[in-house]
């Protein structure tokens, strides 16, 4: 039985290799056809085609309601998120604050506040009731420029620090 299977497999392999053999004349015909097309192109005068630039159309993939996040005074291209927050711990917020941490747990927020206070910051904890998140504010300022400069300094220690505008 094994001999029969080996012989059949060998016969099938031999048929497969010999039946798909391409002939030399097919290659020669393709070469001659390409040569003819090349000669025809050389004989015809060159036609200059002017192409108009392509116009790219950008289609929005997803639309979202504008009330989730609002950018305030974006002339300097610094993103400011507007949220309605209430003070949980600290001395009080001004218009613009630098947030260095967001937590669902108040204990975690208080722990980061203590670390910031030990590092010399006047850190505060605020709560966004709408999202049920505690935000840890390292610094707070009246102007966006001051807050932006502070955020840039804090980003070296706290990656992802961002600006918050209290919507009150």
Residue 122, domain extent:
80-166
Query: Does the residue 63 lie in any domain?
Result: no
pLDDT tens-digit map of 66-105: 455 554 555 567 788 888 898 998 888 888 999 999 999 9
pLDDT tens-digit map of 134-164: 999 999 998 888 988 889 888 888 888 999 9
Query: Does the residue 56 lie in any domain?
Result: no
Neighbours of 68 (CB within 10 A): 9
Per the structure, the count of domains in the chain is: 1
Query: Does the residue 17 lie in any domain?
Result: no
Query: Does the residue 139 lie in any domain?
Result: yes
Query: Does the residue 75 lie in any domain?
Result: no
Contacts of 154 by beta carbon, 8 Å cutoff, 6+ apart: 98, 100, 138, 139, 161
pLDDT tens-digit map of 94-137: 889 999 999 999 999 999 999 999 999 999 999 998 889 999 99
Token pair for 8: 């059949």
CATH value at residue 128: 3.30.70.1070
Q: What is the pLDDT of residue 52?
A: 60
């Amino acid at each position: 039985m094994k001999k029969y299977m080996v012989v059949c497999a060998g016969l099938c392999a031999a048929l497969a290799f010999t039946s798909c053999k391409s002939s030399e004349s097919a290659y020669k015909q393709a070469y001659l056809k390409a040569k003819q097309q090349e000669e025809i192109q050389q004989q015809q005068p060159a036609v200059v085609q002017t192409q108009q630039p392509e116009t790219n159309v950008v289609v929005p993939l997803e639309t979202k309601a504008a009330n989730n996040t609002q950018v305030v005074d974006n002339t300097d291209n610094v993103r400011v998120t507007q949220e309605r927050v209430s003070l949980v711990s600290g001395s009080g917020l001004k218009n613009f604050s630098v947030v260095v941490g967001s937590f669902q747990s108040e204990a975690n927020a208080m722990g980061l506040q203590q670390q910031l206070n030990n590092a010399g910051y006047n850190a505060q904890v605020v709560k966004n009731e709408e999202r049920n998140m505690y935000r840890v504010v390292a610094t707070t300022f009246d102007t966006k420029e001051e807050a932006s400069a502070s955020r840039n300094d804090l980003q070296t220690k706290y990656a992802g620090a961002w600006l918050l505008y209290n919507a009150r």
